[in-house]
Each structure stands twice: as C-alpha cells, then as structure tokens.
Amino acid sequence: MTEKTLYERLGGYDGITGFVNDLLPRLQSDPQLGRFWQNRGDDGIKREKQLLIDYLCSSAGGPIYYTGRNMKLSHEGMKINENDWSIFLEYAGVTMGTLNIPKQECDDVVAFVLSLKDDIVEA
C-alpha cells in the first residue's frame, strides 16, 4: 500500500482551496498584513489566490502544475519581516484549527512553510 501524499491527506484540490479561502481573508483584514493587498485590483487578488492554490497543490504532491514564480522572486521587495512572518504563522494555525486538520498534516504543513522562510522574510 502506497502512503498518501500530503495533497491527498489535506483533501486534494478542494481541501487546499478551502484552506486558502479561510486563510486569505484573515491575512487581508489584519491591520499589519493588510498592507500587502492595499491598492490591488480584484482581478490581481484573484490571480494571486489561484497561484497560491496551484503552488500549494503542486508542492503537496498533487497533479497540479504551478506556473508562477518561485517564492523568493514572488516576495522580493515586499519587506516582509519577522513580525509579519509570526503573524502569518498564527493565522495559518488558526485556519488549520478551524478546518480540523489532523495533527500530522498540520505538522507537515508547518514544516513545509518553515522551509520557505528564507525565501520570503527579508533580513
């Protein structure tokens, strides 16, 4: 028997989309993190959301091909700092709790997200 991918364990495309649908409004409405979406048109925000879904699906072992930029290039110049990162992690944890994501999957998601920190946070 083959072990399921993280993509499968998170509920596939629908599960990951649900995660993004819960997380993004939290980030966008945060007094500190909301600055990253200010002055953005609805179409641009929808495009970013779809790219995030595709990226997460692809990275979790799903059959989705991600066509966007890498994380370092995507976040370059955004001036994301340690405090921003900590707030993001808190919201991601709240979202996983809200969606009742099992502990093992939460741990796997956190490990993956932490592996991206150096490409996202500017020193």
Quote the pLDDT of residue 85: 98
Give the whole-angstrom CA distance, residue 49 versus residue 86: 21
Give a yes or no: residue 3 inside a domain. Answer: no
Q: Could you report the per-residue pLDDT of 18-69, keeping only the tens digit for each? A: 999 999 999 999 999 999 999 999 999 999 999 999 999 999 999 999 999 9
DSSP code of residue 30: S
The number of domains in the chain is: 1
Is residue 1 predicted with pLDDT exceeding 80?
no
Give a yes or no: residue 2 inside a domain. Answer: no
Dihedral sign (CA 101, 50, 2, 110): negative
Quote the pLDDT of residue 2: 80
Give a yes or no: residue 75 inside a domain. Answer: yes
22: its two tokens: 């819960």
Give a yes or no: residue 114 inside a domain. Answer: yes
Q: Could you report the per-residue pLDDT of 76-102, keeping only the tens digit for each? A: 999 999 999 999 999 999 999 999 999
Which domain, by its residues, includes 57?
A: 10-120
Quote the pLDDT of residue 123: 72
Give a yes or no: residue 99 inside a domain. Answer: yes
Give a yes or no: residue 116 inside a domain. Answer: yes
How many distinct helices (H) and strands (E) make up the chain?
7, 0
Give a yes or no: residue 30 inside a domain. Answer: yes
**CATH number for the domain including 50?**
1.10.490.10
> pTM here?
0.93
